[in-house]
Chains A and B, each alone.
Chain A
Amino acid sequence: MMEALRFYPEAVTFTPLATIRRERRLPIPGKVRVQRGDVVDAATVLAVAEQPAGVVIVDIARALKVSPQRAAAYLQRKPGASVRAHEILARRRIWLGLRTLRVRSPVDGEVVLAGGGKVLIQAGTRPLELRAGFPGKVVEVIPDYGAVIETTGALIQAFWSSGADFSGMIRIVTSGAEPLRARAIDPVAQGTIVVGGAWIEPSALEQAERLQVRGIIAGSMEASLLPMLRELSFPVVLTEGFGRLPMHPGIFRILSIYQGREAFVVQPFAGPDGRAGRPEILIPVPAENLPPPEPTGEPDLRPGVRVRLLREPYRGRTGTVSGISPYPWTLDSGLRSWCAEIQLDGEEGKTWVPVYNVEIIRP
C-alpha cells in the first residue's frame, strides 16, 4: 500500500540550551591556524588566505624593440621571482653593446607569467581572515578552509540581518510585544545589543545611533527604513520579517532569560548564488555536561507539530497542526494547494493554510 503524501516545509530553531556546532569556512583555500581541541573566542582567526589584489602588464617586447617571440630571451626575472619597483625585468644590449635597453618593474610584486612579449606582475595580495565569530572549541579542522566550532548555549535562527557578524551584551528594553521606541533606549544601553519585542520605530534607530549601541534585535521593521540602516554604525537583526510583527514569544523569552549575557550574531556564508542562510543568534552558556545537540533534520508536517504562519492573513501567527488535507484545496486566491489544518494559538477555531505557508518550529 502506498504511503500518504508527506510535506517538508522550512524549519526554524530557537532553543534555550543545546550543544551547537557550526562550520566556518574560507571562500577560497588558505591556511588553517587552529588545531582540534583549541579553545577560541569570537575574534580568533581560524584561517587566512590571500587574494590577488591586481596585476600589471609590462610590454617588454615593445620596450626592447624586438618581436614578442624573441623577448623572452632578454628576461632577467623569471616567473615565480619577486621584484621590487624599479628593478630591472629585462635588458638588451644594442649598438654592439655600447647601449643597453632596460625594462624596469613599475611595482613591487611577483612575476607570475611571461609570454607573448609581455610580463605580468602580481602587485601584492589582499589578506582574507576567517574569524570564529563566537567562543567555543575546535572539534574538527577542515584542511585549507577552516574549522568546526562547538559551543553550548542558546540558539535563535532569525529572519534577516543588516550586517556582518557582531556581538554584545543583551539588554531587553521593552516589557513584551511592544514596539521599540526612542524613549525605551536609555544611556545604559550604550555598547549593548538592544532587544525590542515587536517592530522598530524610526526614532529608536536615531536614539540607538546617538547612544552607540552594538546592535538591535527586534521582531520586525518597516522595509522603508532600509535606507536609514545603511547610515547606521550598528547592525539590526529581525526575527520575524518586514512589516509590523511582534517577536515570537519563545524567542523573546530566551533573550529575556539571558539578559546580561553576551550574544553573538553570526551570518552564515553565502551559497554559490550569493544567498546567505538565516542569521543566527548564539548565546554561549557554560555547561558542565554537554546538553543535547540542537534539533536538526527535516521534520515533516504532521498533527501536533508547532508552526509559524508565513503569509497573510495569518502572517506571524503561531499554532499547532491538527491535520493535513487529503487532496488539494482551492484557496481564496484561486490557487490550488495541499493544506494543513492549524489550531491557531489564542483562538478557538481552526484554519486551513497551504502546507508551504508555514515553517515548522523545531521542538
Chain B
Amino acid sequence: MSWKSVVTIDVGSTQTRALLFARVEDRFRFVAAASAPTHRHTAHPDLALGGIRALEHLSVISGRLLLDPQGILIAPELSTGAGVDACLMTLSAAPPIRVVLGGLSPEWSLASLRRAAASAYTHIVEVLSVVPIDGRRQTEEEWLQALIAAEPHLVVIAGGVDGGATRPVQALLETAALAARLRPEGERPWILFAGNAVLREEAVALAGRELPLRVLQNVRPRLDVEHIGPVVEAMDQRYVERALASLPGISLLQSWARGEVLPAARALSHVARYLSLETPDRGTLVVDVGGNHVVITAAHGGSLAQVVRSESGIGPGILGLYQRRGYERIARWLPHEIRPEALEAFVWTKAMHPLSIPQTMEEMGIELAFAREALAEAWEQLLALWPELGRSPRAFEPILLTGGAFASHARPGALALVALDTLQPMGITTLLWDPVGLTPGLGALAALDASLAVEVLHSRPWTPLATVLAPALDGPVALDELLFTVEVHHRGPDGSESVYEIEARGGRLEVVPIPGVGETELRRFRMRRPVDLGWGPRRAPRRIRIVGGLLGLIVDGRGRPLRLAEDPEARREQIQRWLWDIGALGGGL
C-alpha cells in the first residue's frame, strides 16, 4: 500500500507524543510533533485523553484536521487532506512486568535470560538457579515459595544445551507450572520455556490446556550460541498485553492503531539496527533518557545489546534514581554547591510533578546532573551485561540522543556535555540530536513499512549536534598542556576554501564552529603527546571528513576515563570550565 500520511502516538509515562509523517512534494518525511500529558496519574486516569489532546495539538500545529467532532481519529486520509492513512502506537507508560528467571547456571542460561530481561520492560523479582548462587543451593520448595511470593507476570525457564541436561530443567518447569496453577485463572503468569529442546514436548504436557505456556528456541542451544530474541519478543508481548489490560483508556488508542502496539524500546532498537547497517565497522548507540525509563541500545551490524532501565530518568523515576545513586554522585556534576536538603526537595518536586520543567539555569544544571547519572547507570549495566562492548576503544558512530532529557534546548552544548561526560566516547564520532522525540515514531514506522522509514531517514530527521574528537591519553596531563594540533580545511559550496589550525589542550573542551554547508576535513595531525584517536598512539589518517552540526567540532582533551577533581571546590571550577568551554552558559541559539 502507498501511504500518504501516518500519525504515530508514543504513550510515555508522563507525556504522550504525536508525530505526523506525510508525503510532501513526493517525499515521505516528518512534518510536525506535539505532546500532551499522558493523563495517567490523575484522580481519573484516562490515557485516551492524553492521546486525543496530543492529536488536538498536532492538528493545530500542522494545520491538518486529525480528529472528527466526536474526537475520533480520521482514517484513512480524506480527499480534503484531513486525517491520516494509518496510526501507529508505541508505549512505555505501563509499569514493567514482574519476571522470574529460572535456569541451570548463573554463567550460561541465566546470564542469557538476564540479557533478555534487561532488553525489555521487566523487573526481575526472582532468580531460580539449579547451580548454587553465591554458594547457596536452592531447594524445589524454596523455588515454589519464591514463585508464589513473587506473583510474576511471566516466568522464563531455560537451561541445558540442546540434547544436554534434562532432569534439573524439568524440575524447574514442574515447579513453575505448580506455582502458576496456584494463581487464579485470570492471573496466571505466562511461562516461557527456552531451554533444552529435548524437553519441549514435556513442557507442553506439563502446562496442559490451562497454563499459558510458550515454547521458544533454546536461548543457549550450544554454549557458544545465544538466541535471546524470541524471549525478548515474548516479554514485549506480555508487557503490551498487561498494559492494555491495566491502563485505563489505552484500548481506545489501540483500536485506532494499525498492527501491534510496539514497546517504545523496541521501536528504538529498530532505529538503532538500521543506523548500524550504515556504519557496520563501528556500530551505533541510541540513548533515550525519559521520565521513568532510560534505554540504551547498542547495535553492531544489525545485532543488538540493549538495556531498558525502569524507575530511572528525570520524571517519576528520579526518586528511585536518587535513592540508588545518592547525593554525592549527583552533586559532583554541579558547578555550584547545593545542600542535600535542597537537592532532595528538587527530587520530590520533580517526582510529584514530572511534567514541570526547569525555569532557571541552576535547576537545569540539576536536572542534567540527574540525566548524567541515569545514563551512567544504564551504561554501566549495559557494559556489565555485554562486557565485549567495553573492550573496543573506538566510539560508536553515530551516537543518537533522544528522550525528554534531550528535549529542545537553546544551549545544546549542555546536552552534548551530558553524553560526553557519561558515555565518554573515544576517537571520532558524531552526536545526533532528536529534540522533538521522533525516534520511537520512526521505529514504529519501520515496523509498518521499512521503505517509509528509510525515506524519512534520508531526509535527515535528526539534528547533527557535533563531531567529537576525543583522544585517549597515556596518563594524566596538566591543564592546558598541548596534546595535538590539527588543520581544519573547509570548502564552501561556492568553492571558497578556508584553513585554520586548532589546538587540543589537556583538561579542556574546544568547540570549533563548522559551517553546515560545504565539505570539511581534518588534516595534518601533529601529536605532541602519544594520544590515541582510535588508530593507535600518535597515529591518525591523513584526512578525515567530518560533518558540521549545530555545535561544530568538539575536541575533548579531558582524557579517558574522565577524572573529576576530588576537592569539591576544584571540581566545581572544573565543571564550570567545561560548561563554559562547550557554550552551555549564557547566550543560546
Residues of A within 8 A of B (CB): 2-6, 8-10, 52, 54-57, 112-113, 115-116, 118, 120, 122, 159-160, 222-224, 226, 241-243, 268, 271-275, 277, 296, 298, 310-315, 328, 330-337, 353-354, 356-357, 359
Q: Are A311 and B178 in contact (CB under 8 A)?
A: no
Query: Could you say which of B342, B358, B588 has the most chain A C-beta atoms within 10 Å of its C-beta?
Result: B358
Query: Is the Cβ of B359 less than 8 Å from the Cβ of A354?
Result: yes
Given contacts A2-B59, A356-B356, contact A55 B411 (CB under 8 A): no
Smallest CB separation, A340 vs chain B (Å): 12
| B359 in contact with A241 (CB, 8 Å) | no
A220 → B minimal CB distance (Å): 8
CB-based contact A9/B355 at 8 Å:
yes
When chains A and B are docked, how far (Å) is the Cα of A315 from the Cα of B356? 11
Cα of A56 to Cα of B148 in the assembled complex, Å? 11
Q: Is the CB of A118 within 8 A of B363?
A: no
Comparing B37-45, B257-265, B446-454, B508-516, the segment that makes contact with chain A is: B37-45
Q: Give residues of chain B (32-51) contacting chain A, Cβ–Cβ below 8 Å.
A: 36-37, 39-45, 49
Q: How far is the CA of A17 from the CA of B345 in the complex (A)?
A: 32
Bound CA–CA A273/B293 (angstroms): 13
Query: Min CB distance, A177 to chain B, in Å?
Result: 18
Q: Is the CB of B359 within 8 A of A312?
A: yes
Q: Which residues of B contact A298 (CB under 8 A)?
A: 39, 42, 49
Residues of chain A lying within 8 A (CB to CB) of residue B56: 3, 6
What's the Cα separation between A241 and B407 when bound, in Å? 26
- Check if B182 sits within 8 Å of A52, measured CB to CB: yes
B580 at the interface (CB under 8 A from A): no
Interface string of B340-356 (1 = CB under 8 A from A): 11101101110011011
A57 and B141 form a contact (CB under 8 A): yes
> 1/0 per residue B343-381: CB within 8 Å of A?
011011100110111111111100000000000000000
- Closest approach, in angstroms, between the C-beta of A91 and any C-beta of chain B? 22
Measured between beta carbons, the chain A residues less than 8 angstroms from B39 are: 8, 298
Residues of B close to A241: CB separation below 8 A? 345, 348-349, 352
Contact check: which of B36, B59, B144, B341 meets A243 at CB < 8 Å? B341
Residues of the B chain whose Cβ atoms lie less than 8 Å from the Cβ of A354: 356-357, 359
What would 10 A/B residue contacts be, using CB atoms closer than 8 Å?
A: A3-B56, A6-B53, A8-B37, A10-B353, A52-B182, A55-B144, A222-B341, A311-B359, A332-B359, A354-B357
B409 pairs with A8, CB closer than 8 A: no
Given A241-B348, A310-B349, verify A332-B361 contact (CB < 8 Å): yes
Q: How far is the CA of A241 from the CA of B346 in the complex (A)?
A: 10
Minimal Cβ-Cβ distance residue in B for A54: B145
A273 x B145 contact (CB < 8 A)? no
Q: Are B43 and A277 in contact (CB under 8 A)?
A: yes
Q: Mark B319-354, 1 if CB is under 8 A from A, else 0.
A: 000000000000000000000111011011100110
Q: Is B95 an interface residue (CB 8 A)?
A: yes
Most B CB atoms within 10 A — which of A223, A224, A337? A223
Given contacts A312-B363, A335-B358, A335-B364, 18 further A-B contacts (CB under 8 A): A2-B63, A8-B36, A9-B355, A55-B145, A57-B144, A120-B182, A241-B345, A272-B246, A272-B247, A296-B44, A298-B39, A310-B356, A313-B359, A315-B349, A334-B411, A335-B357, A335-B408, A336-B408
For the complex, give the distance between the alpha carbons of A57 and B341 in Å: 50
In the assembled complex, B85 has its CB within 8 A of some CB on chain A: no
Closest CB of chain A to B500's CB: distance in Å? 28
B357 touches A223 (CB 8 A): no
Do A330 and B588 touch (CB < 8 A)? yes
CB distance from A24 to the nearest CB of B (A): 14
CB distance from B35 to the nearest CB of A (A): 10
- With A5-B60, A275-B41 as known contacts, state yes or no: A159 contacts B352, CB within 8 Å: yes
Given the complex, which residues of A lie within 8 Å of B101, measured CB to CB? none
Asked if residues B360 and A333 are in contact (CB atoms below 8 Å), the reply is: yes
**With A8-B53, A10-B353, A159-B352 in contact, do A353 and B359 touch (Cβ < 8 Å)?**
yes
Min distance, Cβ A212 to any Cβ of chain B, angstroms: 28
User: Across the two chains, which residue of chain A brings its CB closest to B319?
Assistant: A275
Q: What B residues does A242 contact at CB under 8 A?
A: 344-345, 348-349
